[in-house]
Structure 1
Amino acid sequence: MIRRLLPLLLPAFLIAAAPASMADVQLKDARAEAQAKALMETLRCLVCQGQSIADSDADMARDMRSLVRQRIAAGETPEQVRGWLVERYGDYVSYDPPFSGATAALWFTPLLLLVGGIAVARLSFRRRRG
């Protein structure tokens, strides 16, 4: 029974392992590789969250690098690849998410924290003077 299933399962195992093993294999076309690397620098690793997929060692980042290279090699533009990844993983995958109702907190929270910090500092200095 196992001997009959082995020829059927072996290709599935090889296919499943292929994206991770090809993740760091550079494209032959230097221009396409430069586009892929530039795009990878602007995409957030969803596991690490603080690193781009170009810098991360996480398995998911490796898979995402492989997907970026495969799609660039297939002739897609970096904008099309970014659009596909955003559609698949959401706006959070991009370091520069578009402004919308869902991402408003990402845009305004740093500003609100800055204003709040200035207000706390001013109140603290006023209390010390008076």
Structure 2
Amino acid sequence: MITTPEHNERIAKMTFASVYPHYLAKVEKKGRTKEELHQVITWLTGFDEKQLQGLMDEKASFSDFFSKANVNPNAHLITGVICGYRIEEIENPLTKQVRYLDKLVDELAKGKKMEKILRSV
């Protein structure tokens, strides 16, 4: 499925703070922890707890969120389908980064081992 400019724009304007509670609920419902969620987010973005909270407090859009992130150089190893889109085929860099995050959260919720999620194996 190809992303449209409208889809990319909608994702860019969405705030991290509006999506974060859904990420947290998803992983906690499956027996994972907030700490594990933050470990995954930190691996992808380089943000520590204080920075994450600051971005949520300022209601940073995903565009702002990822423009301030130091995206992990191994993020390109995140592949597969998430939300109906094959990550490797997404051309818009920001949309791809958001889908990387979605995929990591999904893998955490599905019970994958942290070493596999963080692409360290």
* Structure with max Cα Rg: 1
- TM-score normalized by structure 2? 0.34
Give the alignment's TM-score, normalised by structure 1.
0.33
